[in-house]
Structure formats: structure tokens, C-alpha cells
Amino acid sequence: MDIRIKGFIESSCSDWPGQVVAVIFLPGCNFRCPYCHNYPLVLNPDEGETFTLEYVFQRLAALRSWLDGVCVSGGEPTLSAGLAALCGKIKEAGLLCKLDTNGSRPQVLQELLARDLIDFIAMDVKAPLLADSYERCAGVKVDLAAIGKSMEIIRNAGIAYQFRTTYHPALLSESELEALALLFSQDEKPLLQKACPSGALSLDFRRHEDITAQQYQEVTVMMQRLLKKSSKG
């Protein structure tokens, strides 16, 4: 199997609501989000420890009685050629399979879903689907048609999913947040996560202050208000 596992957490209760999962990290990413905290995997995908498949699946077997599933994260996992084979092996082990993705490769999502290899997808929607906003938040030019296609595929997949956005006022203005909110329906419960400047990928972004509790509360309430008006999703 053509896969390199660059990180392995044996159990997490925060990656999939209501499930206890192991987390596998695959290297490399086609984005350079300023707030990224997994950037060693992104910038230096060949460095660091590599976990063998044998080791990871031995551990998963040993933990099987209390694990519900495995979250495949990164980096951007859809860049790894062996992703489908890895997900298949997770399912063969009797475990649920969750995928974290930036949504840039809809054709890979389509293939995984067609083969019934994924039970839950969490997709980052970095910004409203506007070229400048997305480039600022992803750190590279992004094919917005691919992002929109991934959202459509996920919505029609018939599995659980979550859209999530990492927010900081230095990256998204209030009007951009409003445009973002209109991408989602209230039922989808999109997640707004706080971007943490300390230790982030971008040296420029590191200079910003953390978002305050009050700022976070205000933008969360604003998002909720706009979601109620939204009919999409």
C-alpha cells in the first residue's frame, strides 16, 4: 500500500462527536493556511517518524474493544495515493472511518464514497467562495469550483458530515463572515473554530493577538442569526 503514516494518536474523544477514535496523520498539503498548526507535516512531509502500517494496525487491533473508529487526517489526506486502500483496511478491521479534508479534491471524495469507505467527513470551508478571501485563508490560490463540488458531493453522500471554518478577524472581515454563513443551513451546524496565532505556520499571522472570548461570542451569534435565514444545505 502506497501510504506513509506520519502521526498516530491512539485515542481521541474530540475528533468525532460521540465516538472514540484513533487518529492517523498523512503528510503533505496543497494549502498553506496561515493558522495551520500541523505545518511540519505540510512543509516537511518527509521528515519525522514514520509509523509502519503493521504497527498501526497491531495497535488498532489491541485497542479494538473500546475504539469506535479511525480519523484519517493530515495534512491533506486526499493527496495520498494509498488513501482508499487505507480506508478499506480500516473498514475491514471493523472500525468506522472518518476523513478530514480541505475539499480541494472532489474526485477523490467521490471515489471513496462510491466504494463505501467513509462514514463521516469533516471538511474545512476556509472562507466564503470568493477568490481573494479564500486565497487569504488558504495561503494559496484555490479552485473554488472544486470546493463547491466537494460540498455538494458531501451533502448528497447520505453520511454524517461537518463543515468547519477556522476564524480570526485578521483573516475574515465581518462581511466575509456573513457571506460564509450563507453557505450553510442551520441544520448543518457548521463549526466556527478559533485560529490560534501562537506557533502558527505564518510568521505574519503569529504577530496577531488571540481572538477574545467576547469577539468569538459575537461572531458566533452573528453566524447563528444568518444561518437561520439561510435555506441552502
Of 24-32, 80-88, 149-157, 213-221, the segment contacting ligand SF4 by CB under 6 A is 24-32
Of 27-35, 61-69, 89-97, 206-214, the segment contacting ligand SF4 by CB under 6 A is 27-35
The residue from 21, 22, 26, 36 that contacts ligand SF4 (CB under 6 A) is 36
| 119 vs 124, beta carbon nearer ligand SF4 | 124
Q: Examine residue 102 and tell whether it contacts ligand SF4 (CB under 6 A).
A: yes
Q: Examine residue 76 and tell whether it contacts ligand SF4 (CB under 6 A).
A: yes
124/32 Cα distance (integer angstroms):
13
Task: Provide the minimum distance between the beta carbon of 228 and ligand SF4 in the complex, in angstroms, as a whole number.
Answer: 29
Task: Provide the minimum distance between the beta carbon of 76 and ligand SF4 in the complex, in angstroms, as a whole number.
Answer: 5
31/225 Cα distance (integer angstroms):
30
Name which of residues 154 to 183 contact ligand SF4 (CB under 6 A): none
Residue type at position 197:
P
Dihedral of alpha carbons 158, 74, 193, 142, sign: negative
Of 45-53, 55-63, 69-77, 156-164, the segment contacting ligand SF4 by CB under 6 A is 69-77
Looking up cell 487491533, which residue turns up? 61
Name which of residues 123 to 152 contact ligand SF4 (CB under 6 A): 124
Residue type at position 150:
S
111/88 Cα distance (integer angstroms):
12
Q: Examine residue 74 and tell whether it contacts ligand SF4 (CB under 6 A).
A: yes
Q: Examine residue 33 and tell whether it contacts ligand SF4 (CB under 6 A).
A: yes
Q: Examine residue 75 and tell whether it contacts ligand SF4 (CB under 6 A).
A: yes
Task: Provide the minimum distance between the beta carbon of 183 and ligand SF4 in the complex, in angstroms, as a whole number.
Answer: 17
Closest alpha carbon to 103 in 147, 144, 142, 54: 147
DSSP letters, 100-128, are EE-S--HHHHHHHHHTT--SEEEEE--SS
Chain centroid to Cα 154, Å, comes to 13
177/132 Cα distance (integer angstroms):
14
Looking up cell 495561503, which residue turns up? 139
Interacting residues with ligand SF4 (CB under 6 A): 29, 31-33, 36, 38, 42, 74-76, 102, 124
